[in-house]
Amino acid sequence: MRSRELSKLPTPELEAKLDDAYRELFNLRFQRAQGQLTDTNSIKRVRHDIARIKTILRQRELAAQLIAQSTTSGNRA
Please report whether residue 28 resides in a domain: yes
Q: What is the CATH number of the domain that holds 29?
A: 1.10.287.310
The model carries a pTM of 0.86
Please report whether residue 77 resides in a domain: no
Do 46 and 1 touch, CB atoms closer than 8 A?
A: no
Please report whether residue 54 resides in a domain: yes
Please report whether residue 62 resides in a domain: yes
36: containing domain: 3-72
CA pair distance 16, 74, nearest whole angstrom: 35
Residue pLDDT, tens place only, 3-57: 899 999 999 999 999 999 999 999 999 999 999 999 999 999 999 999 999 999 9
> What's the total number of domains in the chain?
1
